[in-house]
Structures are given as C-alpha cells and as structure tokens.
Amino acid sequence: MIGLDTNVLVRYVAQDDAKQSPKATRLIESLTADAPGYVGEVSVVELVWVLAGCYALTKEEICEVLETLLRTKEIVVANADIVWKAVRQFKASKADFADCLIGISAKEAGCNYTATFDRDAVKYCGMKLIE
C-alpha cells in the first residue's frame, strides 16, 4: 500500500497539468486491490476544498468524485464508513464537508456533542454553539 497525497488526487481528477496529470494517472491506474493506494481523511478534506475553491466543482460533482473514490477497490480511504456518512450529510444539506466530517467523527468517537462557534455547523451538522 502507498499513500496518496492530495495533489496526486487533484492531478488525476482534474487532468489539468501536462506533466503531473499523466504521472498521477499512471500511478493511480497501476494500483490493485492487493496493492492499493491509501487516502487519509485530511487528504479527503483537502480534495474537497481544492475542487470547490480552485476548480469550482459543484456539490454534486464533488460528491460524485468522493463516492467514486470510496467505491474504488484499489483505494483505501481512512475511516471510510465515517467519510461515507459525511458525504451523505454533505449531499443532503447546506453544510460544509469538513464540518460534516468533524461532527460525524466526533459522534462516532462517542462525543456527546461537538462545540463550535460556527452557526451553520450548528444548523446543518448538529453541533452545539458555544455562547
């Protein structure tokens, strides 16, 4: 198993760099179920941030990328069950993906709630506002 940095994922998804995209494609397409790539939760959050902020992908397009990543047998996503829940919450609400993942991760870890100053996270992710 090898770790995949966010920039490798971005180059593969965006196919926007004449030098790096073919290298990312070769690497990712050489992965197998027996020798998979590993994507950590931080890389998932960064990927969403880059695709939304730099490439202006819609929420629907981002969810499609994430769902494909999660379904790919040649890629292991850290805490995939939690990431799946975050994708579903993100898809069904106006929440920020990172907030979805933070709230669900805390809930899955047994937290009573997640404290925040972010009113949108309270509204869409069930966090508790600190007043």
| pLDDT per residue as tens digits for the range 7-27 | 999 999 999 999 999 999 999
Start-to-end CA distance of the chain, whole Å, equals 45
Angle at 5 between CA 7 and CA 12, to 5 degrees: 45
Model pTM? 0.92
Residue 110: phi and psi, rounded to 5, are 95, 10
- Closest by Cα among 85, 3, 7 to 51: 7
Say whether 95 sits in a helix, a strand or coil.
coil
CA 19 to mean position of chain CA atoms = 25
| pLDDT per residue as tens digits for the range 59-115 | 999 999 999 999 999 999 999 999 999 999 999 999 999 999 999 999 999 999 999
Residue whose pair of structure tokens reads 């925040």 in the numeric block: 116
